[in-house]
Amino acid sequence: MKVFVTGASGFIGSAIVSEFIGAGHHVVGLARSAQSAKKISDAGAEVLLGSLENLETLKQGTKNSDGVVHAGFFHDFIQFAKAAAMDKAAIEAFGEVLIGTDKPLVVTAGVLGLPLIDGIITEESRLPAGFPRLSETTALALAEKGVNASVIRLAPSVHGPNDKGFVPFIIEQARKNGVSAYPTDGNNRWTAVHRLDAAEAFRLAFEKSEKGALYNVIGDTGIELKRIAELIGEKLNLPLVSLPEEELANHFEWMSGFIALDSPATNFKTQKQLGWKPKHLGLLEDMQQNYF
């Protein structure tokens, strides 16, 4: 099948491109720069020049494909409202072309911040009103209108070599501030998934194309933030420090708004629906081997 992939040159998107090509699909990757285009082309994919703000380009890529994997996002957490609005507009542009067809649309969202059911996030957990990221609600609204849309909920830490996400930022803040910090008692839990496991889940979700499905794509189902901080302190030979809520912004900066969230999650239903099982390194082992 011919698959249109946004974010195709990114940390997660490049793994998705390789996964699809390895499974025999033809990939068209969206590229907003010559550098991104070269990376996509070198991976063996076709290039479509444009950005998430070029809605007509997105519609063109969608029309000329057998379906869409939307892994692109404007990663500026200081301008998150702008990023969320861009994301919503892009997803609606895909839906405008896909409505009335059976072509799949797989949209990226996340588990962080979802409400706990009996102490844990499940596939039945639903976003609270006013949730700032609009990916999931927009995709589900399209599914209700007949678009063959499903949602991949990624763990907050998608890890692997060349990770530039949350964990590298926490490590850099430790270096910068001279302490390895964690919020309050550090008992809040985060989930994680290796980028190659995530890429496989995207492919399976695309191939199975179950309208309205929600997939919790996680490997580690709950790692205490204190344990992550302990490992960073050990590797960098820095003291371990607990920070009260009012001091989080000084150390964690833009990340302070969600560093203390407790988001343990299950993936049992996702494994069954997709026939998917994480098989790569867990976060702590990956950090030990590759992050320092």
CB atoms within 10 A of CB 249: 14
Angle, CA of 34, 38 and 39, to the nearest 5°: 120
The CA distance from 89 to 95, in Å, is 10
Question: What does pTM read for this prediction?
Answer: 0.95
Angle, CA of 31, 36 and 42, to the nearest 5°: 110
Are residues 132 and 85 in contact, defined by beta-carbon separation less than 8 angstroms? no
Helix (H, G, I), strand (E, B) or coil at 79: helix
Which tokens hold the place of 183?
């919020």
pLDDT over 90 (residue 214): yes
Mean pLDDT of the region 234-255 = 96
Local confidence band at 171 (pLDDT 50, 70, 90 cut-offs):
very high
Cα 112 to chain centroid, rounded: 10
Mean pLDDT of the region 256-264 = 93
pLDDT at position 127 = 86
Torsions phi, psi of 136, nearest 5?
A: -65, -50
The CA distance from 217 to 280, in Å, is 13
- Burial code (b: 16+ CB inside 10 Å, e: under 16) for 206-235 equals bbbbebebbbbbbbbbbbbbbbbbbbbbee
pLDDT tens digits, one per residue of 107-127: 999 999 899 999 999 999 998
Of the candidate ranges 125-129, 234-238, 265-269, the one whose mean pLDDT is the lowest: 125-129
Which tokens hold the place of 245?
């809520």
Angle, CA of 255, 257 and 258, to the nearest 5°: 80
Q: Give 153's contacts (C-beta < 8 A, 6+ positions apart).
A: 109, 110, 111, 114, 136, 214, 215, 216, 217
pLDDT at position 76 = 66
Local confidence band at 77 (pLDDT 50, 70, 90 cut-offs):
low
Q: Give 87's contacts (C-beta < 8 A, 6+ positions apart).
A: 52, 73, 74, 133, 134, 135, 138
Q: Which domains occur in the chain, in start order?
A: 2-159+192-221 (3.40.50.720)
Mean pLDDT of the region 56-63 = 97
Q: What is the largest CA-CA distance in the chain?
A: 58
What is the side-by-side strand order in the sheet with 220-224? Answer: 157-159, 189-194, 220-224
